[in-house]
Amino acid sequence: MSAAQQLLRVIEQRAAKVGVIGLGYVGLPLSLRFVAEGFSVLGFDVDSGKAGILNTGQSYIDHIPAAAVAQANSQGFHATTDFSEAAGCDALIICVPTPLNERLEPDLSFVRGTLDSLQPHLRAGQLISLESTTYPGTTREEVLPRLADAGLQLGEVHVVYSPEREDPGNANFSTQTIPKLVGGVTEECLRVGRALYEAVIDEVVPLSSTDAAEMTKLLENIHRAVNIGLVNEMKLVADRMGIDIFEVVDAAATKPFGFTPYYPGPGLGGHCIPIDPFYLTWKAREYGVETRFIELAGQINRAMPAYVIAKLVDALHERGKAISESRVLVLGLAYKKNVGDSRESPAVEILALLEERGAKIAYSDPFVPEFPAKRDYSFELSSETLSPENIAAFDAVVLVTDHDAFDYAAIASHAQLIVDTRGRYRAPKPNIVKA
């Protein structure tokens, strides 16, 4: 029996042991999904604190309840920092970050570090799946050489790329119901990869290669980044003309064909949309292609926090106040509403820009009680309580992340000035400025 046949058999029998590397917003829900379908799952993370929390049945991700983790523990889930245990896994799924460096170039250090940690423990009969978002060619260029260095050949091991499509906080879609893309290095790799994911995902979409799967993931995120850049630019024009861009987008969305509504905001956040387009722009240069459209959208979106500050400065000036003498509350620290993830959040950059201008800064976010440690920013801040007296004590409130938990009527009643970057307040009011 071939290695592929053996692996297909243990997958079909739910006897395959699945290793998930990276227990964040992608890896943890994927681990729980495999456990729910009867697989034994070993979760790997370099953070011993995370592993300890999970092994005690607790959760550090807001939308994943502790009860779900505790149940998974009782059904065969365990977290570890010991990569030598990867040798006992039949499938290894890599879900680690792929950020940008300071030059907006791909930083594959987490992927490479993971592969280097796994390499001594790889063996024949395993499937390796990369889920981290990256440029076309990464699976072939980074995974395959390490297999060769470990003395393994395709056919003995199988390699696929299957990009994550998580949307934290979206109650309409889950890991199980979001269609899963899979591209294999070979047809046999694809067959094994499909079998693994079809065991836990409702719909699996096969692609002709890992490169095609990598490019598809980038297209999905570039599509959003470019359209958000377009509507952000439209916002600038509409603002100069005295037109409410949110009214315009709502009206355009009534067309039942040919239009998809995207709404402007204070900038892009999260681990995907602000980052992934630049993975393609970087790789495209290798082929002599200049991705002007993508880069222009990136420039527009990255300029939005500064635009918000400019609107705030003007609004304060009209009220006889200087920003350097003002107390400013940023409403929402997370990059999107109803989650606690502040990665690449425009709120963080807005806080930094406010501090540079001399403002006395604060934030309020029910999902982020303490300002988290970050590579580029450090603020000794805790989330403010939104009492009527506290709201009124600030010279301005900047609405950056429109969590449903905020009492918007109370905020509007007590705030001296609101700079609304999300269009939450549609009716004109003297103390509300749209940005």
The catalytic site residues sit at 272
Burial class (CB in 10 A: 0-12, 13-18, 19+), 84: exposed
CA dist 132 → 4, 138, 407 (Å): 24, 10, 37
CA dist 352 → 265, 328, 362 (Å): 18, 12, 11
Measured on CA atoms in the order 338, 341, 344, 345, is the torsion positive or negative? positive
If DSSP codes are grouped into helix, strand and coil, which group holds residue 258?
A: coil
Measured on CA atoms in the order 86, 90, 95, 101, is the torsion positive or negative? positive
DSSP 383: P
Identify which of 201, 197, 212 has the alpha carbon closest to the alpha carbon of residue 91: 197
Distance CA 135, CA 273 (A): 14
Identify which of 85, 70, 79 has the alpha carbon closest to the alpha carbon of residue 50: 79
